Structure 1
Amino acid sequence: MHIFGDRLHHLTYCTNIHPGEDWASVFHNLQTHTLKLKQNLAPEAAFGIGLRLASIASEELLSGDVLAQFQAWLIDHNCYVFTLNGFPYGGFHHQVVKDQVYAPDWTQRERLAYTQRLITILAALLPANVDGGISTVPLSYKPWWQSDPAQRQAVFEASSLHLAQLTAEMAHLEATQGKLLHLDLEPEPDALLENADEVVTFFQEWLLPVGGAYLQRHYGISIALAETWLRRHIRVCYDTCHFAVEYEDPAEAIAKFQQAGIAIGKFQLSSAVRIPIPDSAIERQAIRQKLKPFAESTYLHQVIEQRSPQGLHHYADLQTALPALETTAATEWRTHFHVPIFIDRYPPFASTQDHIAAILQRLPKIPECTHLEIETYTWEVLPPEMKLDILASIQREYEWVLASLPQPAAV
């Protein structure tokens, strides 16, 4: 849906909350869930869709006349697609995902080919005068390369070359069809790119020099134009849960990107669990018991603890962090578990909702980013006491965002 009344800013939710990997399942979810939300939230207005497509769904959508049929369906129901979630390649529900969410990573041609299909799909679906974004893996998973610096450098180089190849394709689309597409790297804890500093370093030391040289060599353009292409078509997906878990200050993180000339392509609006650590051993034991339902087996729930004044310490997953709770010197934990964004406290825990609110208030100062996407994909694995009816929960998230914008929102 349009917000701010300018028809430039778009708000949606990511359909990765609904299980479904093949196109038939995805389309069923759109008909079953998305249309009901549209009826409740924007019955007379165009309704934006944040579409998550697994690799198999992307292949099926490009077969025969399936894409044309979907285009007709969008027109018939006054819906439009402006952003795709291209992060999870394969299964994302009802199975163990954990670190395999990063596979294939940006060193592998499977990731390249999958994203090329997404570019083709989004270019076909994108309305006129709307830019299109695809969020994607932040290169790879850091622990896979932790012990071998040379291999890690090879990952940066291979990823830069693949991203440059896609940049050329997106630049060609814009030149020939007038459609601006961008690929949005989504930093998250323990990924190869997990915070603002690492993204800036990657752009400055790898993407711009390595990718720029590739574009200059293969397309006969100047380095200056190559860098312009890369900055225009490779952006950041700023997930508010991820940056909050990293204890990033929103204003400082955004300033780092702006100073480095790195555009934000999409804000994913999601909230993490914040756990204040008490001194009492009895209270810590109680907190550990209350955290156990969050330590589920499907997704990675990375934990970062704040050790004052020693700084930050990482745990790969909440399951492995829990035994340390009773002895840690930390004053606070934050865990990568997406919880409904309309909740700010569920004692003894809190959420990082304040990070989202700070981002929303800064939107007028970030003119290049017009995409907002609610992303609480963990609904199925939420503790029972937090699990409302799925449509009611998503609608409340929309309503919270609209009420939190810095000026009255027009649907």
Structure 2
Amino acid sequence: MTVRLRHPDGSTVHLAYCTNVHAAEDLPGIHGQLSGVAARVRRLLGVERLGLGLWLSQHAAADLLARPGELAGLRERLTALGLEVVTLNGFPYRGFHDEIVKYRVYTPDWADAERLRYTLGLAEILAALLPDDVTEGTISTLPLAWRSGWTKEKAAVVMSHLDAAAQGLRALAGRTGKVIRLGFEPEPGCIVETTPQATALLSDVDHDHLGLCLDACHMAVGFEEPGAGARTGLPIVKLQASCALVAPPGAQRALAAFDEARFLHQARSATGYADDLGEALAGGLPADESWRVHFHVPLHDAPPPPLSTSAPYLRDLLNVLLGGERPLTRHVEVETYTWNVLPGAPADVAEGIAAELDWMRGQLAALGLKET
């Protein structure tokens, strides 16, 4: 068995877990992740091959590009461990497991030429890491920028960088025969918060190489209808399978255990929005409404009542994207990066990741997808 699945239309859907859950940002640390947690997840699942959504910090990516032998060695190591990479997470640039991340995760943004350089470097790396029988890879990236400081002038610079990204990806395909597509990931509080905003801002880009990465947690927090992403007209290059926290009216104090210092946890109700959970708990959201919180929680498990998760929303989104006559995306990445800050997290994170992937395999099987 593998975590490549066959859609009823005959196409292959790749399932992976995102390694941004791991803290290492240099090549020795990444090799340690692969031979440690990733290899253990594969064994726990009992699969011959495990898909990874690899996260490479700017430092690690630059090291791989500067030393071709290291890149070839990484590819060989993946193969030896029964691991494969068809997608990268290019959203965090560095320091994703610093003591405090918060708003820094959105820098550098797409107005900064360094974001363009980093992303095109990732594309070069991914083209080299793709298995021999795979010709298409994907990279997820931030939704242009955080909302503050956005001007017409900044928007023009961003669009010029997106054009340059598309040109670079097109040239890469010509040189390597590998098509790498970039997916912009709508997120609350950013310039692109929702799929309709993505349609408005990205309608004129090169859709052969640039499209959307839909994050199920972000969409649920935004109270988006699950079918919204399918109606944008933009290609959906990747789905990030994730679940948000949900608190019923009057029970929000139970969320206090999730108010932690590292990551930003946007919160929304039917009539209100707060940039972070602490702000919401301090009165930033009405207590007589249900809240949805941007805290990626395990797909397969719910927190103690009265809290719950947006797992039903994820199932509906999977049905929209993969339950039809043809798949609307072929890359599915489980992205629960919060295991290390999750209240009551298991000592063995590999067991949690394996349980999530097993849950996801069950959801996909229920839609008619079969393991190859």
* TM-score normalised according to structure 2 size: 0.92
Q: In the TM superposition, what are the counterparts of 1:113-262 in structure 2 within 5 Å?
A: 113-127=117-131, 128-142=133-147, 144-145=148-149, 151-204=150-203, 208=204, 230-251=206-227, 253-257=228-232, 261-262=233-234
Q: Distance in 2 between matches of 1:91 and 1:277?
A: 35
| Corresponding residue number in structure 2 for 1:74 | 78
Alignment deviations for residues 315-369 of structure 1 (CA, whole Å, 9 cap, x no partner): 01001110217x8264211110000011245301110001111122231435341
Which amino acid is 1:397 matched to?
A: E
Q: Give the CA deviation at 1:102.
A: 0.2
Q: Distance in 1 between matches of 2:86 and 2:209?
A: 15
- Is the 2:44–2:351 contact (alpha carbons within 8 Å) kept by the matching residues of 1? no
Q: Distance in 2 between matches of 1:98 and 1:293?
A: 17
Which amino acid is 1:378 matched to?
A: T
Q: Give the CA deviation at 1:166.
A: 1.1
| Corresponding residue number in structure 2 for 1:379 | 339
1:328 to 253, 276, 286: 286
Tell me the number of residue pairs that the alignment of Structure 1 and Structure 2 aligns.
362
The question of 1:410 aligning with 2:371 is answered yes
State the secondary structure of the residue aligned to 2:91. Answer: coil
Q: Give the CA deviation at 1:176.
A: 3.3
| Corresponding residue number in structure 1 for 2:4 | 2
Which amino acid is 1:241 matched to?
A: C
Q: In the TM superposition, what are the counterparts of 1:232-311 in structure 2 within 5 Å?
A: 232-251=208-227, 253-257=228-232, 261-278=233-250, 284=251, 287-288=252-253, 290-306=254-270
Q: Distance in 2 between matches of 1:354 and 1:364?
A: 15
The question of 1:348 aligning with 2:306 is answered yes
Larger Rg: 1
Between stretches 351-360 and 295-304, larger displacement belongs to 351-360
- Is the 1:184–1:235 contact (alpha carbons within 8 Å) kept by the matching residues of 2? yes
Alignment deviations for residues 166-225 of structure 1 (CA, whole Å, 9 cap, x no partner): 101111222332211101101111011010111011023xxx1xx5xxxxxxxxxxxxxx
Q: Distance in 1 between matches of 2:260 and 2:279?
A: 11
Which amino acid is 1:254 matched to?
A: G
Q: Distance in 1 between matches of 2:286 and 2:160?
A: 42
- Is the 2:18–2:89 contact (alpha carbons within 8 Å) kept by the matching residues of 1? yes
Between stretches 34-43 and 329-338, larger displacement belongs to 34-43
Q: Distance in 2 between matches of 1:116 and 1:172?
A: 11
| Corresponding residue number in structure 2 for 1:54 | 57
Change (3 A) 1:43 1:403: closer
Q: Distance in 2 between matches of 1:154 and 1:171?
A: 26
Q: Distance in 2 between matches of 1:154 and 1:347?
A: 48
Which amino acid is 1:231 matched to?
A: H
- Is the 1:305–1:330 contact (alpha carbons within 8 Å) kept by the matching residues of 2? no
Q: Distance in 1 between matches of 2:351 and 2:78?
A: 23
Change (3 A) 1:42 1:2: farther
The question of 1:397 aligning with 2:361 is answered no
Q: Give the CA deviation at 1:388.
A: 5.7
Alignment deviations for residues 275-299 of structure 1 (CA, whole Å, 9 cap, x no partner): 1113xxxxx5xx41x2222110000
Which amino acid is 1:244 matched to?
A: A
State the secondary structure of the residue aligned to 1:377. Answer: coil
Q: In the TM superposition, what are the counterparts of 1:12-31 in structure 2 within 5 Å?
A: 12-31=16-35
Which amino acid is 1:298 matched to?
A: R
Change (3 A) 1:85 1:354: same
In structure 2, runs of 5+ residues without a counterpart are none
Misfit runs of 4+, over 6 Å? none
Q: Distance in 2 between matches of 1:40 and 1:329?
A: 42
- In proportion to residue count, which structure has more helix? 1
State the secondary structure of the residue aligned to 1:267. Answer: strand
Q: Distance in 1 between matches of 2:239 and 2:248?
A: 26
Q: Give the CA deviation at 1:73.
A: 1.5
Q: Give the CA deviation at 1:231.
A: 0.6
- Is the 1:139–1:192 contact (alpha carbons within 8 Å) kept by the matching residues of 2? yes
State the secondary structure of the residue aligned to 2:291. Answer: strand
Q: CA RMSD in A?
A: 1.8
- Is the 2:35–2:81 contact (alpha carbons within 8 Å) kept by the matching residues of 1? no
Q: Distance in 2 between matches of 1:67 and 1:158?
A: 32
